[in-house]
Chain A
Amino acid sequence: MSTGTPDGWHRLHPLSPVVRGGRATIAIGILLLPILFSGGRVTDAVPQLAIIGVLALGGFVSWLVTRWRIEDDDLRVETGLLRRQSLRFPLAQVQAIDVVRPGLARMFRVAELRLRMAGASGATARLAYVAENEVEPLRDRLLALARGARLHEGLPAGDAELARPPERVLATVATGPLVASILLERGWLVLVLVGLLSGLVVSPHTAAALIGGGGFIWAISIVTVLWRRFNQQFHLTVAEGHDGLHLRGGLVALTAEVIRPGRVQAVRLVEPVLWRPLGWCRLEADLAGRQRGKGEGEAQRGQLRTLLPVAKRTLALELVDRLVPDRPSELSPPPRRVRWKSPLRYRVLRWGRSDTCVATVSGRLRRVTCWVPLEKAQSLRHVQGPVQRRLRLASVHVDTAGKAVHATLRDRDAGEAAQALVELTDLARAARRRAAAA
């Protein structure tokens, strides 16, 4: 807090714009390289220098106009040059304070403080970035103030909540299976990559042609895709805390997140075809809530979050039970005549329901199992196409918030589908009422 002014305002760490720029910073570095090493005159690089200058100025101004201070029981953050924003976060509502360190931040020895607030909005106060050695004292001070603020307002001190009770680790992803699973799932990408690389090795002439023809770019982009998955899911750990599931992991960029049970819109279990002999699967949850991504102001409605990048089925199902209580145990297959319409899917298609949850299985090569809690269902749709009509079949869709997961009772007997639509409508209504009453 060395940057404090007499009236209590603090600035963020001066390197904040550099870290926040992330990719832009790296791009600037790449732009600078030829200038540094070409040994040509500076005047040749005027356009590059101009771009760098503008970006640097923008970053500097945004740093200059952002400041924060603690006022009584609130944290106040002011930001913006043209559109001035003043945000007030009541400390009494702080649920937890996370420390996040992306890759660049670790390099520059800074860290981001995230204050998770209670309430429906689920807003997050961010102080990005603060010097690493100041982070822990600041976090403790804010926590102490939060506790004090609660006492002021006659709320329970919530020591247990704020002091981070020990959590129980449910699963950690090992590196070996993670690498194997990524390579197996993206099998064809890996094949293309191997083809490109072996082409390079075998004959340098074709290599030159490849580089000229964009093969090189292909190889780089494939590696990037594979690397991104690995980087995000490296050492991903799921732990059970007092307020939901805690998710941590990452190789270069460390992330930490809490998934409250109520935020889960749907859960799905994915089994790519090449994983099945190994009995592996991936567990993903669709989460609601407006969340800010890395880029500023990037609002999304639903987000697919990988909970278990690769795990045995039994472990994944155990986790499903924590997220979706009372999942249906028995799933029923479709009528035999579905073979004519969907020969590949026929063996896989299943659906079942309990009073609170719908489960569906689908997929041609990779098998996808979805669970949707009925209280989260947004709308129901009954669809019958021309082929389905000939075969007396119909599908029922259960729409959830977000785009990723979507439970479909595909190709059921027409009578069964009609009945399912009525039943699910009633059950969803009852589930909504219960959720509203709770």
Chain B
Amino acid sequence: MPAAAAAVAVALAGAGSSWALGLAGGSLVAGVIGWVAVGRRYESWGYAERKDDLLIRRGVLFARLSVVPYGRMQFIDVSAGPLERAFGLATVRLHTAAAATDARIPGLERGEAARLRDRLAELGEAQAAGL
């Protein structure tokens, strides 16, 4: 998104008229703000494997921290959209019986995603608890 904004800025600056220059400035500012926002959002993501549960942290404006016990995981899915595939990334998502649980870890390297999936499946099986 920031990259697109920068491209628009350059294109408009090339056009040369005064309103185009104004727009170019605006989109440049938007690009910088976007860049910072994306950076902060990236920083906000984090996860930690603990003994009995997985911690997942995310969000800048709304900071969320989820605790998902391994025994409560029903299944784990790994997905990779076209953009993620192009960069060799994948998203790991955990599902519990609760619809409100939103535990996902995006942007993992393919290998790390596979390792995490296997590790979580193993731990989930060892600690599985009924409803």
Contacts and interface: CB of A to CB of B under 8 A. Distances in A.
Contact of B62 (A386, A401, A421, A436): A386
B52 A429 contact: yes
A435 interface: yes
Contact of A379 (B61, B62, B101): B101
Contacts of B66: 379-382
Interface in A93-129: 120
Interface in A376-403: 376, 378-386, 389, 397, 399-403
A399 B101 CA distance: 7
Nearest to A424: B67
Interface stretch (B2-10, B21-29, B68-76): B68-76
A301 B67 contact: no
Q: Which of A265, A378, A397, A403 counts the most B-chain CB atoms under 10 A from its CB?
A: A378
A283 interface: no
Given A379-B67, A436-B129, A402 B61 contact: no
Interface string B59-103: 001111111110110000000000000000000000011111111
Contacts of B101: 378-379, 381, 399
Interface residues of B, number: 24
Nearest to A399: B98
A429 B53 CA distance: 9
Contacts of B129: 432, 435-436
A406 interface: yes
Nearest to A425: B67
Contacts of B63: 383-384, 389
B127 to A, nearest CB: 8
A59 interface: no
B131 A383 contact: no
B64 A401 contact: no
Contacts of B100: 379, 381, 397, 399, 403, 406
B72 to A, nearest CB: 5
B60 to A, nearest CB: 9
A270 interface: no
Nearest to A436: B129
A174 to B, nearest CB: 35
Contacts of B16: none
Interface residues of A, number: 31
Given A120-B130, A289-B131, A406-B100, A379 B72 contact: yes
Nearest to A428: B69
Contacts of B96: 378-379, 399, 401
A379 B69 contact: yes
Contacts of A265: 131
Nearest to A401: B97
A301 B98 CA distance: 9
Nearest to A406: B100
B62 A384 contact: yes
B53 to A, nearest CB: 7
A301 B100 CA distance: 13
A288 interface: yes
A40 B61 CA distance: 68
A288 B72 CA distance: 14
Interface in A268-305: 288-289, 301-302
Given A384-B63, A385-B61, A432 B71 contact: yes
A385 B60 CA distance: 9
Contacts of B97: 288, 301-302, 378, 401-402
A385 B62 contact: yes
Contacts of A379: 66-69, 72, 96, 98, 100-101, 103
A100 B53 CA distance: 44
Given A288-B131, A386-B62, A436-B129, A403 B99 contact: yes
A429 to B, nearest CB: 6
Contact of B64 (A302, A381, A428, A436): A381
Nearest to A404: B99
B98 A401 contact: yes
Interface in A186-215: none
Nearest to B53: A425
A173 B67 CA distance: 41
14 contacts: A120-B130, A265-B131, A379-B69, A379-B103, A381-B65, A381-B102, A384-B64, A397-B100, A401-B96, A401-B97, A401-B131, A403-B99, A403-B100, A432-B69
Interface of A: 120, 265, 288-289, 301-302, 376, 378-386, 389, 397, 399-403, 406, 421, 425, 428-429, 432, 435-436
Given A385-B62, A403-B100, 8 more contacts: A376-B131, A378-B72, A381-B65, A382-B66, A383-B64, A384-B62, A399-B101, A432-B69
The 10 A-B pairs of least Cβ separation, nearest first, read: A401-B97, A378-B98, A399-B98, A382-B65, A378-B96, A399-B100, A380-B67, A288-B131, A379-B101, A379-B68
